[in-house]
Structure 1
Amino acid sequence: MLNKSVITLAVATALTATLAATSGCAVTRNQETVGAYVDDAALTTRVKGKFAADPTVSAMAISVETLKGTVQLSGFAKSYEEKAMAEKLARETSGVVAVRNDIAVRHPQ
């Protein structure tokens, strides 16, 4: 079993690489500005980092997307407690305006 700090580092590294690769994309009409996109990507990274550090939330099973400060959670949780904790961690993240929790509970307990 991998150490939690190794998993946290791996998630943070992957998200940083994704941010670096996509931050230079051109902005077209009806899209947010590059600055807003980078802010949203940073929020996504912070939320995923909180998931990786929390023992009850699976950072690998729950997806996080952010648009204009609104975080959308999706994927699968093992319990209602995990779903609730993921939402709580996202809401407590500085800069998050709202949270939309679309996580499905696979095997309710």
Structure 2
Amino acid sequence: MNIKLTGTLLLLGAMLGPVGAYAEDSTTDTPGQYLDDSVITTKVKAAFAEDKWVKGFSINVRTDHGVVDLNGTVNSQNQSDHATELASQVKSVIAVHNNLTVMPR
């Protein structure tokens, strides 16, 4: 393996390390499944951070075996539905459980 690729993999591992803590039940996951769930969680959070409708809301994202759980609060049912749609569009997501609470302003 060349040095550049090794450095990139080490950097990726360092970035995903803390995110991996969000996997729901890591005790039964294979290392590959655990990493896959961590990547899904990261991609969902990135989609939320880039989206003007859900950006800035406190939405907790957890992934277990490709199933994404959303917890937190939003201001409207439309925002809740949009968060589900965004999460569903992430590659490798099997299902989304929307547990968001709508708290109108």
Is the structural similarity TM-score above 0.5?
yes
* Higher alpha-carbon Rg: 2
3-state secondary structure, aligned to 1:41:
helix
Give the direction of change, closer, same or farther, for the CA distance of 1:77–1:31 in structure 2 (3 Å limit).
same
Tell whether the 8 Å contact from 1:70 to 1:97 is kept in structure 2 after alignment.
Answer: yes
* Match of residue 97, structure 1, among 94, 98, 101: 94
> What per-residue deviation string (whole Å, max 9, x for no partner) do you get for residues 68-95 of structure 1?
0000001001111110110000011111
The whole-number CA distance in structure 2 between the counterparts of 1:49 and 1:86 is 12
Measured on the aligned residues, the alpha-carbon RMSD in Å equals 2.3
Give the direction of change, closer, same or farther, for the CA distance of 1:75–1:35 in structure 2 (3 Å limit).
same
The aligned length equals 88
The 5 A counterparts of 1:69-108 are 69-107=66-104
The whole-number CA distance in structure 2 between the counterparts of 1:90 and 1:69 is 11
Would you identify which runs of 4 or more consecutive aligned residues in structure 1 move more than 2 Å? Answer: 16-23
The whole-number CA distance in structure 2 between the counterparts of 1:44 and 1:96 is 10
Shift of 1:44: 0.3
3-state secondary structure, aligned to 1:104:
strand
Unaligned runs of at least 5 residues, structure 2 = 1-12, 21-25
